[in-house]
Amino acid sequence: MSDETSPKGDREGDQGSKGGDGISLRQRLHAATGDRDAEAQALADETDDDISVSDAKVAVQLARGERGREAPDLGHDIATPTDAEAVKESRHPEDAGRSGGSSS
């Protein structure tokens, strides 16, 4: 049994599975097929553990222009881990600066 069943099984040593933008092949596949839920799951899997699938889905929708005219234009059509982090910070400002855990 290999990593095929693992959510991060597409990494293959991280060599060639992601572009310089941090987007995994798995996420690109789901983006190409239009499966937004699977694309969001792939993005959440590739980011820090504190990025929820819900936040990743908002990032995917923003990248695709599916959040309305008032939403910012990200300038690209596949969400990046940085986009997901920005969504998390905007949706959960009380969690900003808590990455890495605390000692209290």
pLDDT tens-digit map of 33-85: 999 999 999 999 988 778 999 999 999 988 888 766 666 666 678 899 988 99
87 CB-contact burial (10 Å; exposed 0-12 / middle 13-18 / buried 19+): buried
Based on the structure, what is the number of domains in the chain?
1
Residue 65 resides in a domain: yes
Provide the pLDDT for residue 3. Answer: 45
The answer to whether 52 and 76 are in contact (CB under 8 A) is no
Which of the pair, 52 or 97, is modelled with greater confidence?
Answer: 52
- 35 within some domain: yes
**Per-residue confidence at 16, pLDDT binned at 50, 70, 90?**
very low
The answer to whether position 52 is within a domain reads yes
Residue 88 pLDDT > 60: yes
CA distances 3 to 10, 12, 16, 23, 52, Å, are: 8, 9, 16, 19, 22
CB 24 within 8 A of CB 46: yes
- Residue range of the domain that includes 42: 18-93
* Helices and strands (H and E) in the chain: how many: 4, 0
